[in-house]
Structures are given as C-alpha cells and as structure tokens.
Structure 1
Amino acid sequence: MGKGKLWIAGFGVVMLAGCTEEEAEPAVPEEPQTQQQVASPEPRAEQFVELWQAGEYETLYEEFLTERAQQAYGEETFIDWQEQLEEQLALSNRQIDWAPASEEWPREQPADFPFTITMDSVVGEVAFDNTMSFVYEEIDGEGQWFAEWDPSFILPNLSKGDNISVQISDTERGEIVDRNGRVVAGNAEAYEIGVVPGNFDRQNQTERLAGLLDLTPEEIDAELDKPWVQPHYYVPLGTIRPDRDTLNRLFAIPGTKRTKVTMREYPYGESLAHLTGYIASITAEQLEERSGQGYSPDAVIGREGLEALFESELRGDRGGKIFIEKTSVNETITAIDNSAAAGETIALTIDADLQRQVYREMGGEPGTAAAIDPYTGETHVLVSSPSFNPNDFIPGIKDSVYRALADDPGEPFFNRSAAAYPPSHIMQPITAAAAVKQGTLDPSEGIDITGETWQKFPSWNDFRITRPNPGVSNPIDLEKAVVHSDSIYFAIQATNMPDDSFREGLSELGFGQSFDYPLPLSASRISENGEFGSEGQLASAANGEGQVRMNVLHTALLYGTFLADGEMKKPLLFTDAEHETLKQDLVTAAQAELMRSILVEDGAENGHGYAGKTATLPVDGEDMGWFAGYDPNDGNMSIAVMMEDESNVSGVVDRLFGND
C-alpha cells in the first residue's frame, strides 16, 4: 500500500475516536488540500528498466532504490543473490514491457507500473507479471522517484531467505529420417557408467575398467581426482551402447553403477556423415554465441552438417520446474513449471540405402556423387568419400581417433560434394545447350575440321585447342562432336557466339550462382572472377578446361534438363519443401530430345550403356574421372559422379542405376 493510501486510512481512524454521542456537533469540513504535482516518474522508470535489463545492479541499488528497500534487502540480497540466481538458473535475455504514466504526478501518491518480464532460463522461457511502485522521496532537499523493489521481481513469490532448486526436463532430440522414413540420425538406449570411489578398488580395478570403457587408466584417474569428488559421490566415467556381455563384465567390478540414458546414433555411419553431421559437447565459443538460450557448459549441440544447421529445430524446447523453499513457513512452492517440447523430425529426400550402397562402391577412394529427380528437384543421393563415422563423436571422440582422421591424406572431413572440380568434356553438352539457345549452333550442320590442334587467330601465339580424336571423318556435326569429344568443334561454337552471349548463357544455366540449398555448396564457375579474360580462355571454357569448375549436384541438375525438356528444378533436400522451377526453356523440347538421342549414342559408342558423357583428365598426377547422364531405360534420375581415380567411376555409376 502506498504512502498516500496510508495517510487517508489513518485520518479516518482519528476522526471516529474523537466523537461521542454527547459532543456530537456538526463537523466543519476542512479545506481540501491540494496535492503538489511533480515531474512524472516515467523517465526514472525508463532508466530503471534499461539498467535492469543490462544487469547494472550496483547502480540500481545506489541510485534507484527507496531507502526502505535498501534497508530491507541490502547489497547482499539485491546484488549478490540476484547475480548468483542468474548464474544458477541461467537467467538471461531479460525483456521488460511496461506501461507509461502521465506527464505529472502527485508527489504524495505512489506511481504503480505494471511490468511483464520475460527471460530465458535453464528450464526454457520464463514469463510473469508484477507491479513496481515508485515513490517520491527527498534526499538532502532534492526530490526524486525511487523504486520499491523486492525479490519477487527476480522470480514470482520469491522472498528474502528463500532457497531455490531446479528440476530439468530434457527433451528428446528430433530425428533425421530419409525419404522412406528410415532413421539416419536418431536416439538410442545407452548406459552411463560410473563408480562410487569409496566402494571402488582403484589400485587393482582401474585398468580393467578402462579397457571395458575404451578409456585409458590415466583418463579414469583424472576424473576421480577432480576437486569435487568425495568417497560417497557417484562419478560418471563413460557411456556405452547396450551390450549384455560388456555390462555383465562391468558390474562384476565392485563400486560400478549404471544409469540408463539416451544416446545419439547414426545408423548409416560414414555414408551420410557429411549430410547429418554430428552432435558433441558445446564449445566455449558456441556457449557464448547462444547465451540466453538455455545452454549449459555441459550441454551437447550440433557441430556439423544438418545437426548444426538445424540445431534449434532438432533440439526442441527444454522444460522443467523451479522450486522455491519458503524457509519462513516451511513450505515449497513451484515458481515456474515449463513443459518440454520434443524436437522436430526432419525428413530428407535422400534414399539412405542407395546412398550407403554408393558409398561402399567408392571403396573409400576420394570422390563424390549426386543423383537427382529432374522433374521434382529432389536429391536422392549426395555422397562424399572418404568420410568419418559420426558415432565416434558420441559421447566424445578419442583424441587418437580424431588425430588419425585429421592426418588422413584422403581428407575424410572434407566434403567433396560441396566443392567444385574441373569438368573437362562433361562441359561440352552444356556448351552446346548455350549455343543452341543462342541460335548460333545448328545441330545438323557439319563443320570441316582438320588436324589435331586449332587456333582462331595467330594472335593466340602458342595457345591452341587440342582434340582427342583427330581421325573422325568430316563434316563434324553436334552428334559426332559429343560422341568423340571434339574440343575444336565446341571451341569454334563458343567463339562464334556474339559479344558476351556465351558467358550470359552459362549464367542462365546456373554458373556463378549459389543455389538456395540447406547445405552450402560451391557454385559452379567459368573462371575465378566470373569473366573471360581472353578469347582463348573462352575457347578452353567451352570444353571444361582452364578455370572452369563444376559442382557435382549442379552437374546432375544440368543433365537433368535434357530429360525435363529444358526445365531446371530447384534442388531440394527436404520432403516437405515445395517443388519450384528455377529455369524454363533452357532448350526446347525438340532440342532436348535431340540431346537425349546424342547422349544415348555417346553411351553406346563408349560402351557404358547409359545416356551420358564421360571424361578423363589429369589432375595432380592422377587421372580424374567423370560421368554425367541417366539410364535411358528409366529416365527418372539424373546423376553425376566424380572420382579422383577414374577407374572407380563405372562401378559407382552401375550402383546408382541399380546394376551390380
């Protein structure tokens, strides 16, 4: 109750006590007292809120609390206890909404400001309402508005001397599943293993226990020697998946205990690791970045891939209860009760079984492959080899295992499906599509080409285009050029295109553009700066040489336009994503049909039986191999394969098309 209200009530009591029946004289009304108006308390309330949200408790205590509040709670409660509770409950990101007051206010009347307080906590978001009174006080002859604070502004119903406890309800992390509902990142039953030091024969059993938990004796000693450990405390040491034999051997060791827990599991291991990523203990940097989101120093978090990109969706909403033990009345009340919400399920367009088969076919050799539905844009396969097993990071990867992976010359942590590579002759049908669209290439018109090398102008000096099959009979039309990879033919077509139209045509086909894709992919490019520095560079680009680089998914998407009559769909990774057309009329239906027939002929001529283009090119002393195309008997999937050792390409292609 404010001071103004107290004064009115007291006045009423005095009047009643002073009147008797014998002395009942008519009361003479007093002249009404005019309340003195002073400046509005709103600016002080606004300053208070700003400092409150910033955690400037010392300034608030010294300059904004009423004398009564200072005496009642002191610095120990207002500053120290408030800061301790913020740390204990992970209180952060406090937001305060309040209603302003009028421009002037009677100095004798308290100003009540209703507040809505929201903040993050260890049990999720906390929100509650309260009302703070500001009263006018004079100090050394100067008047100002001061706040009547109490601990209920930290948490509802909190009083000085109360004790706080927390019960956290961890939510189950959402699953990642493939197009058929198969779990690729999920939750499995596991056991946390620990010991009670007072019951554990450390001298004789440490080495045995370490072997069963895949730890070193030194690692167990380090845990048992931590400062907080007492003989009767339970000390967690490791987490294992259910294995009856191992569990029986563990519990034959006196002093061991187990607790059933949930562990993240990746059933498809290496084959999907670059897509799923993994979870691991939160880093100091991540903890700082996610301050106020309920993460604790011992939390786990998505660290790579989809686990990291969709951390918020997969994590769900943590819940729990905050209890207040009212020491004054020996009662415990629930101040905050938040229900946990499970994380979302993310459904991929990936066929996990096919992805695993393709990965195994790669045999751990460096390469990447993509398979996409050209009519919907759905990605069926996106694989990178070699890879790593994300299960090794659960609950924590051993340093020796991590170091072996990091030092592996095959670079298993490098996601090749996100990179871009020189495509060589895989580029030639793409060049043809740009020239046909421009109208400078007539597929049926032949060109007489003689010799093995060619240059358009003597000013090219020593630079010349070389073709691999100079013995092909003239005239050379588009079909012969594609089937025999005639580099001179495509260089001529590219240099015949007027002005900047070849670069513009490739831009229309997606070169130099990043796709709106859940995982970051390198954009295909015609050069490092996106321009042709010379006509010779342009002629090389027509054959996928020079600085041209192509991403494997983009390559599959481009070859898919020949199946989809010149339409390019947006590449999708999630089943609930809307199908969207990125480009239309890249070629006409008739031109697409012609290109399909040429690619079928190319496959027959080169003996691989599929409609598509192959390429072999020397890179760093090895022969890199490519294939891009589709199965003419089942044109529902466009694929691209790049292997740093070209001898592995045919097996991967067969696997993608379902042929052993």
Structure 2
Amino acid sequence: MKRQKRGMRKGKRRAGLVILLLLLLAAAGAAVWTLQGSRIRFRVQAEECLREYMAHIEKQEYKEMYDMTEAADSGSISRGDFIERNSRIYEGMETDKIKISNVKVGKVKHGEVSVSYDMSFDTVAGAVTFANTAVFVKDGDACRLRWNHDLIYPSLRSTDKVQVSVDDADRGKILDRNGRMLAGEGTAVSVGIVPGKLEDREKSLEQIAELLGTDAETIENKLSAAWVQDDSFVPVSTIPKVQQRALMEGETAGEAFKEQERQKELLNIPGVMLSDITVRTYPLAEAAAHLVGYVQEVTAEDLEEHAGEGYSAGSVIGRSGMESLYEKELKGQDGCEITIVDENGEIAETIASVEKEDGQDITLTIDASLQEQLYEQFREDPGCSVAMNPYTGEVLALVSTPSYDNNDFISGMSEEQWTGLNEDESRPLYNRFRQVWCPGSSFKPVTAAIGLDTGVLDAGEDFGNEGLSWQKDESWGAYEVTTLHSGYPANLKNALIYSDNIYFAKLALRIGADRLTENLDRLGFGKQLPFEILMAKSQYSNTDAIENEIQLADSGYGQGQILMNPLHLAALYTAFLNDGNVLAPRLSLGEKSQADIWLPQAFSEEAVDQIMEGLSGVVNHPDGTGYAAHSVSAALAGKTGTAELKDSKDDTDGTEIGWFSVFTTEKNLEKPILLVSMVENVKGLGGSGYVVQKDKEVLDVYLGR
C-alpha cells in the first residue's frame, strides 16, 4: 500500500514536470513567434519609410526628410546642414520624376535592416539611374533612416560637391532670302560698377543714373544683392557698342558720336567699368522690328509655363515676331554636365551629361533691302506695306510704321523710353500689317470679279453717266454715293481707271447682298489667312450679314463695313497673274520653290483678262489714278484706293486712308513684285496719290531703274 502511494506521488511529480516543461516550451515559442512578428513588421515598416522618404525629395520637403533620420540623435549632421546639402544638390540638378524599383529588404540584425533598391530620376542633364542601399534602425515603434551622403548618390562623400555646368547653346540666326542677318549675335557694352571703388556713392549713383536714363534707387538695389562684395563687378545696364564705321557715316555719325561721349563720361566716374559682351542684335532695327520681334530674359512665370523645356534663370525667350514664332527652332538645347567634385576641385565622377545642340538658323523669304526701302519711305507715316512675289507667294517685305528699335529691349529699355513708346500718339508698338483696314477702291477689282463670274456684269456695258453723285431712289433719303470723275462711257475698264464709286455701287446692288457675302466667304473673309503670322480676319460686316442697300452699295467700292488685312488683299491680287488662282503667302524660304494655291479658280480666267485691262490702265493711262507710278522700263498694273472714315453721314472732318496695290505684269521678269501699301490720315496729303509716289520711289530702286 505504501509502495503504491509512493508510486502515485512520483507519477504526479513527473506529470507536473511535464506540464511545466510544456508551459516553458509554449512560452519560449510565443516569445520566438513575437520576436519573429516584430521583425516582419520592422521589415515592412522599413520599405514604407524608404518610399515615404523618396516621395519627400520630389516635393522638396527637406525638413520632413530630416525628421525621418536618426541624425538628430546621432549628431551626424545638423538640420540646417542637412536641408542645405539636400536642397542644393536636388534642386541644382532639377531632380524630377523620382522612381524606386527592385526593392529588397534584408534580414533584421541587431535592430537594423538594410534595404537595397534601384533609383532613377530626371535631371537637367538627362536621366540618372543607380543601385543603392539604405539602412533603417528600429527606434521603439518607429523606424529611423541612418542617413549618409552616399544616400544622395552612392559614391558621394561628405567632402564632395555636386557641380552642375551649363554649356549655353547658340541661338539660331534669322536670315533674309539672301543670307543677310535679321537677328543674330552681336556686341554690346556692359556697364558695371565695382562698389568698393565708388567715391561719394550717393553722388556717383546719381551721375550714373542720369547717363543711363534710369534712377539711382534701381542701381542701388542691384548693388545691394546678397552676392555683391566690394570688389565685385556688378552689371547695371547694357548699352550700344560704338562701331568705328558709324562715326564716319553721315546718317549715323551724330548719334554714334553722342554715344561715344556718353561712354567717356561714364568711364570718368571712379568705380564704373565698361566691357564688351555678346548679345542678340537686330541690324535692321526699326525697319523690321514688328516682323523680327525681340527676345528677353525669362521670368518666373516663363519658367513655370515652360517647365521641362530646358529654360533656366538667365535664358532668353522670344517675345514677339519671328523670335517668338520660331522660338523652338531658334532656341536650341543647352549642354549640361553634372559631376562630383572632390575637395581638391578635381572631377571624381560624371553623374549625367548631355551635349548642347545649337539652335537652327531660320531663313525667311524677306528681302532685307526692300524691307529697308519701304521703311525709309514711310517711316513717319502711320501705315504698313506688304510685298510679295506674285508667282510664288513668297512674302518679300512686311513693314509697319512708325516703328521702334527692337535692340532697345536687349540693352535694357529705361522706364522713360518705355513710357514714351506707350504714350506716343503714333503708336510705334502697334503692328499695323496684322490688322484690318477699310480698303476703299483697292477692293473694286474683287467686286468686279464677283460680278463677272456670277453673270450679272458685262464688262463692256455702259452703266450710264450719273455725274459726281447718285442715289438709287428717294428711299435713301439724303444719302448719295459720290465719285471724283465723270463724262466717259461707264464700262468696267473706265470704272477701274477713273475709280468710279457710282459704277461699283450699282454693281454691288446687282450682285445682291446674299450673293456678294457668299462669294466673299469663298474668298477667305471671316477665315484665318494661311500664313505663319496670325493675321486679323477680313470682314464684310460688323454682323454676319450686309444689312441694307446703302451698306451693300458702299461695300461695292470697299467701304461700308468692309475691312481687309493688307496681306489678304495682296493674296487676292495674285489671282490676276495666276489664271484666277489665289496663292497662299509664305514667309519661310526653306527649299521649296513651288507656289501653294490657297483658293483655286477664285476668279475665272475670262474675268481676270477683263479686269487686267482696267488695272493696267490705272497705271499706264494718263488719266489713271496710279499713273504717277508709270514706268517705261517695267510693265505695271494696279489699283489705288482712298477710304473715307466718318463718324456719321454728315461728318465733313473724317480721315482718309490711302492705298496703292501695284504689281509687275511680266512673268519672266528677274524680280517680279506685288506691293500693297496703306497710309492712315492722307487727307490733305493728296489721298492715294501720296502713297503712289512713295511706292514709285521704292519700285524704281527695287527694279533697278
């Protein structure tokens, strides 16, 4: 019995030991399981931290990046130094589109875990890719990044710098058809101040400001920039380079001498230095300013609008004219190299690089000499001129007067100059060849062609002599159509030669409003002209229809509410030399020589032949309104026009716009030309005759008479 009890006690002890052992094993297993789960969570957390850290880079959230590191505790780098180091490098490289891939998390050892990954991002010098490893440290429930400089780039050390070097692309030139430069590289003078050498700073700055046409405060602001030291050269203005040749030429000698004297006065001020610099220059200046345009330094808004297109602070961008139109081609692509430079200033490694691509040269159909001749003739007159090769559609000149010197935008226009340009009543900044104007009698050939092709006009029919004024009937009240000549058979030829308003008013009534507007729609009214420069659309009414008989009658001779762009008018005139086909005007020379037809068979060949008799008579008949342009050395034809602009029917003080559309008629001529000129305010100057005489001077030179 005693043995049995002792056996039972031993069994209970063994059972207790087994249970205790099982409990110990279970506790140990739970501990192992808990530790394993903690490691798994830490590994997941490390990958999440890596992705979050990289996301902060692209958002330039450097403070948040620092807060994710253990640097604050370890003292390896201060918050300020961390932010400066990262911002300088990432922003200097213009880092964008950061991606990480192929992420692999290692095993947790001693509370740390390594995460390998592949990183890629775009920079100003192209794409950068590399493999790297980050180490994360467990900090309670948090995960901290062990930051080092090689996290930015694997081979980067604390003593290294990342350097971004830019190789500026040369901007392409703008050339005329003969290779003459309209825009390109030139030399100017940079006016700079060495602050430490100024004597009596306040007085000196006042002197400098007066000579430069600015104010002392503007100059002082430049001298107060953070980077300026006493021995720094601080550029404050750009002024023209005085060429020796200009001092010897009669027309330019006076201005060149004044500029030379100004620069001598600047140099006499202690602390002022002048140095030659390369700038964009426009040799034709005022003669082609509206056509060529100008460039200016990019603004913050430009950089935002054109992000990723290769612009940076100091870049220039086309603001108007050809400089703006062909900006992408002219700009080119700057070269760039991102390198790691060691403490000795030696390049240790190249991170990324891209070769520069200079901008393309753009060759225009423009004839620079003709452009200058037209400008010189009309420089004081508010108006514009358009010249074309009537057989190819090539635009030979586009002139708007009065004008401005686009070089002033390069050298830095003073506030006084800018105010003067904007307040000038003649509006020199206004580009007149892009606008629409009342064409007056220069529109009559279009009315004639519509009349002939719709069958309502017989060119030989006499419309009857009405004297110098006429109205359809009493329903017109006091309104009458007036003309300057009478007493001849009122047929089409004479109506063009003598510019008979009454004839074309009657013709418009015959055609009818619906038929006239339908044909004008077909001739490009209300549509965009197919041309590189955006031109205002021609119109036949302020509404979408010709509203009444008087407006219809006035429209027949180019008044009423008819408004035309000068280049559109010139394009329609090409039909008279191309069997009724209207050519598309073009400005880019390229390798193409064949004309593009914009409006095929706009007029019938029969209509063209009949109208040409009258247009030839305008210039060659002694009574023709354009006879002053007559020449024995080249056959010409054309049409004058004087448009009256009145506030009301009873207005006797209205202004007049003078027109002359003239062209050579010999197809084998070496230099064929179609020229349309318009001048505002010719009342008292001889009307269209004023324009005829000026165009004659230009044609005499151009045709080599």
Measured against the shorter chain, the TM-score band is 0.7 to 0.9
Whole-angstrom distance in 1 between the partners of 2:491 and 2:360: 54
Cα gap change, 1:153/1:568 in structure 2, threshold over 3 Å: closer, same or farther? farther
Whole-angstrom distance in 1 between the partners of 2:392 and 2:549: 37
Query: 647-656 or 43-52: which moved more?
Result: 43-52
Cα gap change, 1:112/1:480 in structure 2, threshold over 3 Å: closer, same or farther? farther
1:572 aligns with 2:571: no
- Corresponding position of 2:249: none
Give the drift of 1:550.
Answer: 0.8
- Corresponding position of 1:651: 693
Whole-angstrom distance in 2 between the partners of 1:503 and 1:372: 27
Cα gap change, 1:252/1:134 in structure 2, threshold over 3 Å: closer, same or farther? closer
- Aligned mate of 2:678, from 630, 637, 642: 642
- Aligned mate of 1:623, from 656, 673, 678: 656
**Amino acid of the residue matched to residue 481 of structure 2?**
T
Give the structure with the larger helix fraction. 2
1:340 aligns with 2:356: yes
Q: Secondary structure at the match of 2:657?
A: strand
Whole-angstrom distance in 2 between the partners of 1:250 and 1:141: 69
- Corresponding position of 1:239: 238
CA contact (8 A) 1:96 1:115 kept: yes
- Corresponding position of 2:400: 384
Give the drift of 1:657.
Answer: 1.7
CA contact (8 A) 1:69 1:149 kept: no
- Corresponding position of 2:129: 129
1:471 aligns with 2:507: no
CA contact (8 A) 2:114 2:133 kept: yes
CA contact (8 A) 2:370 2:397 kept: yes
Cα gap change, 1:553/1:158 in structure 2, threshold over 3 Å: closer, same or farther? farther
Cα gap change, 1:327/1:599 in structure 2, threshold over 3 Å: closer, same or farther? same
- Corresponding position of 2:521: 507
Give the drift of 1:252.
Answer: 6.6
**Amino acid of the residue matched to residue 190 of structure 1?**
A
Q: Secondary structure at the match of 1:394?
A: helix
Give the drift of 1:652.
Answer: 2.8
Instruction: List aligned pairs for 1:217-228, cutoff 5 A.
Output: 220-226=219-225, 228=227
Give the drift of 1:53.
Answer: 4.6
- Aligned mate of 2:86, from 82, 85, 92: 82
CA contact (8 A) 2:213 2:414 kept: no
Give the drift of 1:413.
Answer: 0.4
- Corresponding position of 2:31: none
TM-score using structure 1 length? 0.79
Give the drift of 1:531.
Answer: 2.4
Whole-angstrom distance in 2 between the partners of 1:518 and 1:595: 30
- Corresponding position of 2:97: 95
Alignment deviations for residues 418-459 of structure 1 (CA, whole Å, 9 cap, x no partner): 11111111111111122323333332333346465555576x
Mark the runs of 5 or more structure 1 residues left unpaired by the alignment.
1-32
Query: 244-253 or 488-497: which moved more?
Result: 244-253
**Amino acid of the residue matched to residue 691 of structure 2?**
V
What number of residue pairs does the alignment pair up? 613
Alignment deviations for residues 141-176 of structure 1 (CA, whole Å, 9 cap, x no partner): 99x9x9999766756744556433343322322211
Whole-angstrom distance in 2 between the partners of 1:236 and 1:329: 28
TM-score using structure 2 length? 0.75
The alignment's C-alpha RMSD in Å is 4.2
Query: 307-316 or 157-166: which moved more?
Result: 157-166
Cα gap change, 1:447/1:98 in structure 2, threshold over 3 Å: closer, same or farther? farther
Give the drift of 1:328.
Answer: 11
Whole-angstrom distance in 2 between the partners of 1:566 and 1:643: 28
Whole-angstrom distance in 1 between the partners of 2:58 and 2:470: 73
Cα gap change, 1:480/1:329 in structure 2, threshold over 3 Å: closer, same or farther? closer
- Corresponding position of 2:547: 533
Whole-angstrom distance in 1 between the partners of 2:364 and 2:436: 23
CA contact (8 A) 1:280 1:395 kept: no
- Corresponding position of 1:29: none
Mark the runs of 5 or more structure 2 residues left unpaired by the alignment.
1-35, 245-259, 631-635, 647-653
Whole-angstrom distance in 2 between the partners of 1:573 and 1:329: 51
- Corresponding position of 1:11: none
Give the drift of 1:349.
Answer: 0.8
- Corresponding position of 1:179: 177
Whole-angstrom distance in 2 between the partners of 1:68 and 1:254: 52
Alignment deviations for residues 102-132 of structure 1 (CA, whole Å, 9 cap, x no partner): xx9999998866454223x3xxx43211246
**Amino acid of the residue matched to residue 517 of structure 2?**
R
Whole-angstrom distance in 1 between the partners of 2:376 and 2:411: 26
Q: Secondary structure at the match of 2:317?
A: strand
CA contact (8 A) 1:612 1:629 kept: yes
Q: Secondary structure at the match of 2:277?
A: strand
Cα gap change, 1:485/1:176 in structure 2, threshold over 3 Å: closer, same or farther? same
CA contact (8 A) 1:641 1:652 kept: no
- Aligned mate of 2:457, from 431, 435, 441: 441
Whole-angstrom distance in 2 between the partners of 1:52 and 1:387: 50
Alignment deviations for residues 442-498 of structure 1 (CA, whole Å, 9 cap, x no partner): 32333346465555576x543755140573345x32222222333333333333336
- Corresponding position of 2:338: 322
Whole-angstrom distance in 1 between the partners of 2:534 and 2:378: 23
1:462 aligns with 2:477: yes
Whole-angstrom distance in 1 between the partners of 2:54 and 2:409: 44
Whole-angstrom distance in 2 between the partners of 1:306 and 1:241: 23
Cα gap change, 1:133/1:489 in structure 2, threshold over 3 Å: closer, same or farther? farther
Whole-angstrom distance in 1 between the partners of 2:471 and 2:430: 39
Instruction: List aligned pairs for 1:257-276, cutoff 5 A.
Output: 257-276=273-292
Structure with bigger gyration radius: 2
**Amino acid of the residue matched to residue 97 of structure 2?**
Q
CA contact (8 A) 1:454 1:465 kept: yes
Alignment deviations for residues 353-375 of structure 1 (CA, whole Å, 9 cap, x no partner): 11111111114111101011122
Give the drift of 1:224.
Answer: 3.8
Give the structure with the larger strand fraction. 1
CA contact (8 A) 1:447 1:477 kept: yes
**Amino acid of the residue matched to residue 354 of structure 1?**
L
Whole-angstrom distance in 1 between the partners of 2:406 and 2:77: 52
Give the drift of 1:511.
Answer: 1.2
- Corresponding position of 1:367: 383
- Corresponding position of 1:358: 374
- Corresponding position of 1:407: 423
Query: 266-275 or 280-289: which moved more?
Result: 280-289
Give the drift of 1:524.
Answer: 1.2
CA contact (8 A) 2:333 2:359 kept: yes
Identical-residue share of aligned pairs (%): 31
**Amino acid of the residue matched to residue 355 of structure 2?**
S
- Corresponding position of 1:170: 168
Instruction: List aligned pairs for 1:240-319, cutoff 5 A.
Output: 240-243=239-242, 255-319=271-335
Whole-angstrom distance in 2 between the partners of 1:49 and 1:386: 58
- Corresponding position of 1:197: 195
Cα gap change, 1:472/1:643 in structure 2, threshold over 3 Å: closer, same or farther? same
Whole-angstrom distance in 1 between the partners of 2:319 and 2:441: 38
Whole-angstrom distance in 1 between the partners of 2:214 and 2:513: 67
CA contact (8 A) 2:330 2:360 kept: yes
CA contact (8 A) 2:539 2:564 kept: yes
**Amino acid of the residue matched to residue 129 of structure 1?**
T
Give the drift of 1:600.
Answer: 0.6
CA contact (8 A) 1:90 1:294 kept: no
Give the drift of 1:547.
Answer: 1.4
**Amino acid of the residue matched to residue 625 of structure 1?**
G
Whole-angstrom distance in 2 between the partners of 1:569 and 1:40: 71
